[in-house]
Structure 1
Amino acid sequence: MGPQLPLALRYPADQRFETFVRPPEGGLPGLQALAVQPDATWTYIAGASRTGKTHLALALCAATEQQGRRAAYLPMMAAAGRAREALEALEGYDVIALDGLEAIAGNREDEVALFDFHNRARAQGQNVLYTARGIPDELGLGLPDLRSRLQQCMRVMLDPLDDEGRRDVLRERAHRRGLVLEDAALDWLLTHTQRDLGALVALLDTLDRASLAAQRRITVPFLRQTLGSGKPPAA
């Protein structure tokens, strides 16, 4: 077995508890407890797409490994149709984050596998975080016992960010990259590009590279030239 990847490579540096903008009231302490305390209260995060569920799941794994404990992250979309095999491979981990339960909802074999995993992880003293786009009753789960187990978890609800919240995210990401993102540039981005947060963050990565290549600050004229042509403007 080869050496483990350094933590910075295993989990994106942008996705940490301390970089999560506008966390739900009272939500972070419970998640942080999962990382450090054996037999902490299991947590279920519900929220629409792009509300930060994956950010928090990865942040939990990073925080767990910083404590010298073992963490596993499993996107349920990747396990759909073979959940039993994927979940049985998670034995021995201290903390497990299962991201996107809606991916297996309605598949009876996968639901039974998740129910069995839940009971097994409880018996073994593992800490578990679930995320999904809705609360258990909204997922279309066909197994009542599974719904019941999931309803017993501490629930954290994530709401979509408003424009000011998107500004805060972009400012935080820009600051971590050493970029200065002025209010006028933020206004332009929010009124002339997609407001989807994931698309905005990806666009910031593109702008970071373009500004570095052109040796230019990210100003409104720079944005007009860069995004209008799809190429960095001349220096």
Structure 2
Amino acid sequence: MTTIPKVSILVLTFNAIGYVYKTLDSLQRLTPDIDYEVIVVDNNSRLGLKLCLPLMLKRGWIDKLCLLNYNSLFAEGNNIASRLARPDATHFLLLNSDVEIRDPHWLKVLLNSHQDGITSYGVVPSNPIARVDGYCFLIDKPLYQKHLLDEAHQWWWAITKLQAKVLTEGYSVKGYAEHEQYLHHFGGKSGKGFKKARGMDINPNEVIGWFNNKSIEIVDVAPQP
């Protein structure tokens, strides 16, 4: 029997109110025919966004909202969001709050091409090793819950370590390099506070070692729906 996907979309917010609006607006308009929920964790944004998010919750753009009184950054914030997910969720989708959905097939394409493991829009081809990006990152819920994001590392190293664990356990890790027809990532709209976070100054050889000579799959262009 085929399991019907139930997706918990995890969104961290930190300021950049215009981009948050664009992300959540396009998400609710252009995600038909998928059973999903939107979980937002706010990392102690300025007052404007703190006031706006409850209105988006009331409007139905957000299903669950957690307003933190500190900046948890990427790893801890997503781990918090994952604990709020519906019990019957099959997948988690980590989605940045500075993206714009452009096509109603965006999530269906990810789900239809997904194998057990991770499927992502966006790849980092090297520096120091090829890996999928984290701004639209689909993972099976049990795998995320087994490993979680390592809170000793932040942003790209946490998401890199997670995918290395999944890959070395024999699961698929696949990224689509070109995906603009489905989703645009603006990038860097929540500031640069992460640069002073712990775990950002990791030795590149340690990162390479995480992968144990395994390689992700990079697909040049996302498939048609």
Structure number with greater Rg is 1
Higher helix share: 1
Structure number with higher relative contact order (C-alpha < 8 Å, ≥ 6 residues apart): 2
Smaller-chain TM-score range? under 0.3
Please give the TM-score of this superposition, normalised by the length of structure 1. Answer: 0.24
